[in-house]
């Protein structure tokens, strides 16, 4: 059961890395905060009733929530839709911000001179 949680955990950590690479670590913290809230609420309500199985369910729910929140935040940061980010489709808006600037917008490289 926890193998499912590991998949969502891996997705969440990859998206955290992308957000940090974009210079937006505070947005990565938001996804972690939401996941922590799900864990705290779940541990208090589900674990007393279902025990270890409940803890596993809460872990999966927390990582799934973190992945969904971080996917949405990352997609917005890249000016893409979440679906195009999942399916690796290039959107015109997303590629405009992620690609190199147009030739008239480039700054001359003074270190080459």
Question: What is d(CA 18, CA 1) in angstroms, rounded to the nearest whole number?
Answer: 27
pLDDT given at position 110: 54
SS3 state of residue 86: helix
Instruction: Between 49 and 91, name the one with better pLDDT.
Output: 49
Non-local (6+) Cβ contacts of 9 within 8 A are 63, 66
Asked if the model's pLDDT at residue 111 lies above 70, the reply is: no
How many H helices and E strands in the chain?
5, 0
d(CA 89, CA 1): 31
CA distance 82 to 49: 35
Backbone φ and ψ for 58, nearest 5 degrees, come out as: -65, -40
80-107 pLDDT, tens digit each? 888 877 776 665 454 545 555 555 555 5
Cα–Cα distance, 74 to 23 (Å, whole number): 12
Domain boundaries, the chain: 2-90
pLDDT at 55 over 60: yes
């Amino acid at each position: 059961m926890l193998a499912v949680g590991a998949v969502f955990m891996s997705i969440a950590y990859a998206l955290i890395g992308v957000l940090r690479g974009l210079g937006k670590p505070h947005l990565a913290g938001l996804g972690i905060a939401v996941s922590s809230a799900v864990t705290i609420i779940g541990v208090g309500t589900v674990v007393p009733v279902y025990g270890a199985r409940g803890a596993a369910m809460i872990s999966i729910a927390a990582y799934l929530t973190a992945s969904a929140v971080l996917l949405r935040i990352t997609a917005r940061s890249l000016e893409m839709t979440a679906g195009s980010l999942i399916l690796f489709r290039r959107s015109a808006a997303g590629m405009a911000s992620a690609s190199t600037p147009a030739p008239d917008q480039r700054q001359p490289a003074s270190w080459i001179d």
